[in-house]
Chain A
Amino acid sequence: MRRVRVLVADDHQALREALVDLLNDVGFEVVGAAVDGVDAVALAKELGPDVVLMDLSMPVLNGLDATRLLREALPDMPVVVFSAFDSAALKRQALDAGAVAYLAKDCTTQRLRATLDGAVTLAAGRAGQR
């Protein structure tokens, strides 16, 4: 079975590296790691991941704007926002921007995996309907 291909976008190096190590070890394939919003959009277009795991607060272009750009450019590519804040308002903003899910960074690995898998399944279903 093909592993789900993930693009990670986070400006914090230690977190980015921890995330890449974890995801690669629990059955995902991290195809790229972006350091800001512009980098995330460019890598998403270039690498065509199954799902993008997007931080919100990033330099150059923040995660919300990057999500909007991706939604316009690649409407079938699901974006999961991954934020340090567990905030209902931020969640609403993220979903409005086009994210399919919002995860706080202190979520369990199980939840992270399930959300990424679910996002890919949901996106595939939507693409199939079109």
Chain B
Amino acid sequence: MSAETARTNGAAPVLADDPYRAVAEHLPDAAVVLFDRDLRIRLATGTTLPDPAWCSDHGVGRTVVDLVPAEQADVLMASYRAALAGKRQHLERPGWRDPGQYWSVDVVPLRGKGGEVSGGLAFWRDITKRHRAEEALRQHRRQLQEAQRLARVGSWEWDLATDRVSWSAELYRILGVDLDVVLTREITRELIHPDDRAMREQLLAGVVSDPSPFQTEFRAVRPDGTVVWMLAHTQGICDQAGRVVRVVGTNQDITQAKRAEQERQRLLGRLYAALDGQYQRLAADLHDGHLQGLAAIGLRLDHAAVRLDRGEAGPVRGVLGRLRQQVRDELAALRRTVAALRPLVLDQRGLAAAVGELAAATRRRAGLDACDITVDLDGLPLDPMVETALFRVAQQALANVEQHANARHLRVALYRDGSQVVLVVEDDGCGFEPTHTQAVADTHGFGLTCMRERLQAIGGQFTLRSAPGAGTRIQAQVAVQVAP
């Protein structure tokens, strides 16, 4: 806005106003407003004005209240009055003529020769650009904080010259440290898990001589004692001479991923142990059963051959009779071995029929009064792994009913619920205290852990509800995986 000289009550500007005019009209984006003790504008000039009306006949001689919108008037009047009371004021206010415009206003008292306050001066500067830059900066900071919070990543910096450490807010949160804690190297060092401290410190010390970025994992211990796993990216920042002056980094909280990984490894360990156990049983079955059985058959055949060589056709019949029985026994043993590897009934009749047969057999063997069996998968073809897992869970749960529950009624349901296959085995038997599940499982071999892990391994869920005297209900739930 071009400078425009205001008149003072219709007269020429007074000489005392000239220095202010000179300042206002030569500083970019600035304006000076002089007001008297009655808060009336005496002079308003500058390279830009919050309101062009101020420097017209309309403005000069009127009060601020008359010239600004109501929502601005109270604040401005208060600061002008404070100036008349001898106080300096600084305000930063949005403009009212152009959207997005922002002004800084410094209001100071003006004194007469006797030192008395004769009026005031408001020095207005258009700070729209600075305000926009600050707003953008604040927005970037907010976005960064939000991104750090979402990614659970905190950032930090270590100034080598001052040995000062600073963290982002998210790092405080991740490490459970109050935001008002003054950080020192010692505090950050103490937060590292004792077992990882030496390694982490050694790596940090190494950055001073080699600033190249590196990645490492370590554990930190929060003030409340909980352990948090960190994935740390670290690098040195050099000055122009190539000396490392700062070390910066990000620490990502990977505790959940670590726990999942540990759980995965534990399950894998159990899986391999179970597989080894299966292999051992299979090897034992093959060696102690089938190999010996086949060897026995071989001996009987040799025996028959010996008798035939001797022309003793009659006695051969006896050998052949025993041989035939031997072959029958061996076939039965082989069927048992194969059935232990994968229940044949699953291949022959499907999961629903297999579970139905298991439930019916349990009712017979346990002498139950009633058994409500609802199995209907609507012909849904399932992944063989899911089928086997659900069958084994049903097998284990029904064995528990038979051996431990002392129940009168049994309910078995296998059905599709949307994208889930659900298996429920419920009895009205003696039940048990679920908090003692592990101890109970250890003592009685209920296979609860085994059922849970079997389902976890295929991404399913296992739910147990039981109470002493109130029966037991297990529910296995797996997302439908249609066989390819």
Contacts and interface: CB of A to CB of B under 8 A. Distances in A.
Contacts of B291: 84, 105
A50 B378 CA distance: 69
Interface in B1-52: none
B303 A84 contact: no
Contacts of B194: none
Given A14-B326, A18-B300, A57-B287, A84 B295 contact: yes
B296 A14 contact: yes
A22 B303 contact: yes
B306 A14 contact: no
A106 B295 contact: yes
A129 interface: no
A57 B302 contact: no
Contact of A14 (B287, B292, B303, B307): B292
A19 interface: yes
B288 interface: yes
A12 to B, nearest CB: 4
Given A25-B306, A26-B306, A106 B329 contact: no
Given A14-B293, A18-B322, A25 B299 contact: no
B334 interface: no
Contact of A18 (B288, B289, B305, B326): B326
B319 interface: yes
A25 B307 CA distance: 9
A96 interface: no
B295 A105 contact: yes
Interface string A90-130: 00000000000000011011000000000000000000000
A73 interface: no
B317 to A, nearest CB: 14
Nearest to A104: B295
A61 to B, nearest CB: 15
Most buried by B among A15, A19, A109: A15
B287 A22 contact: no
Interface string B307-340: 1000000000001001000100100000000000
B306 A15 contact: no
Contacts of B292: 10, 12, 14-15, 84, 105
Interface in B176-196: none
Given A12-B288, A57-B288, A108 B302 contact: yes
Interface residues of A, number: 18
B306 A18 contact: no
B469 interface: no
Contacts of A11: 288
Interface string A23-59: 0011000000000000000000000000000000100
B298 interface: yes
B395 to A, nearest CB: 29
A14 B329 contact: yes
Contact of B303 (A10, A12, A21, A106): A21
Nearest to A59: B288
Interface string B218-249: 00000000000000000000000000000000
Contacts of A84: 287, 291-292, 295
Nearest to B290: A84
A15 B303 contact: no
B288 A109 contact: no
Contacts of A19: 296, 299
A15 B305 contact: no
A106 B292 CA distance: 10
Nearest to A109: B302
Nearest to A11: B288
Nearest to B325: A14
A18 B287 contact: no
A18 B330 CA distance: 14
B291 to A, nearest CB: 4
A71 B302 CA distance: 31
Contacts of B298: 105-106
B293 A22 contact: no
Interface in B274-304: 287-289, 291-293, 295-300, 302-303
Given A12-B288, A14-B329, A22 B295 contact: no
Given A21-B319, A84-B287, A84-B291, A15 B302 contact: no
B315 to A, nearest CB: 8
A43 B298 CA distance: 26
B186 to A, nearest CB: 62
Q: Which of B291, B296, B299, B322 has the most CB of A within 10 A?
A: B299
B299 A18 contact: yes
Contacts of B326: 14, 18
Contacts of A57: 287-288
A60 to B, nearest CB: 14
Interface of A: 10-12, 14-15, 17-19, 21-22, 25-26, 57, 84, 105-106, 108-109
The 10 closest A-B pairs by CB, nearest first: A12-B292, A105-B295, A15-B296, A18-B299, A84-B291, A14-B296, A109-B302, A22-B303, A18-B296, A15-B292
Given A15-B296, A22-B303, 15 more contacts: A12-B288, A14-B293, A17-B296, A18-B297, A18-B326, A21-B300, A21-B322, A22-B306, A26-B306, A57-B288, A84-B291, A84-B292, A105-B295, A106-B295, A106-B298
6 contacts: A10-B292, A14-B296, A21-B322, A57-B288, A84-B295, A108-B302
